[in-house]
Amino acid sequence: MENTLNLSVDTLTKIDEVVPKYPEKRSAALMVIHLVQDELGSVNDSACEWIAHRLELQPINIKELITFYPMLREKPWGRKHVRVCRTLPCALRGSYGTCKTFEKKLGVKEGHVREDGEYSLEFMECLADCGQGPVVIVDEKTYENIDAKRAENFAELLIDGKLDGSVDFTSYEDSLNQESK
């Protein structure tokens, strides 16, 4: 099948490996969408058509999945994507203030991408770390107890490119790595 999306060999190989693992090609749809999104950043109409063709489905069968699941998207997020949990346990600990602070500091409204494409902000349902809210995820790293006050400093470090490795904010994933050393 023609590689009209210019996907890497790595992604094409993963797709070729994952599809035969399912009894029906259709069942592999979510996995294939994730692989395409991981490489392209989003799944637009052309990507939708390509995936549908690969799985012998109609584009609508792929589109309905992309529009249903919040982690899938038709347009790319910013180069840095910030998620803030809005569900009750985090809300009670101040996540609305956290989100407002990020909107102000990063210059982007929640649910949007900043005009220069640098940041996007998403205020979304439970990020599965409910005991340590407000929870914030930047790209793939999870940060805990980020209330509005801490969010100011957090955003400044993010803007300065100093969040990774900062002593004040260690992500959950990095703390696991440190413990295993």
Six token digits for residue 66: 């992309």
Cβ distance to ligand FES smaller for residue 113 or 137: 137
Q: How far apart are CA 9 and CA 58, in angstroms?
A: 24
Cβ distance to ligand FES smaller for residue 111 or 165: 111
Cα–Cα distance list, 122 to 26, 76, 78, 137 (Å): 30, 13, 11, 10
Kindly report the number of other CB atoms within 10 A of residue 175's CB atom: 12
Indicate whether 90 belongs to the interface with ligand FES (CB under 6 A).
Answer: yes
Stretch that binds ligand FES, among 47-55, 59-67, 84-92, 106-114 (CB under 6 A): 84-92
Stretch that binds ligand FES, among 49-57, 105-113, 126-134, 170-178 (CB under 6 A): 126-134
Size of interface with ligand FES, in residues (CB under 6 A): 11
Using left for φ > 0, alpha for ψ between -120 and 50, and beta otherwise, residue 165 falls in left
Query: 3-state DSSP call for residue 103?
Result: helix
Cβ distance to ligand FES smaller for residue 41 or 89: 89
Indicate whether 126 belongs to the interface with ligand FES (CB under 6 A).
Answer: yes
Alpha helices in 59-124, H assignment, sequence order? 59-68, 88-92, 95-106
Q: Which of 11, 44, 87, 145 binds ligand FES (CB under 6 A)?
A: 87
Residues near ligand FES (CB under 6 A)? 85, 87, 89-90, 126-130, 133, 135
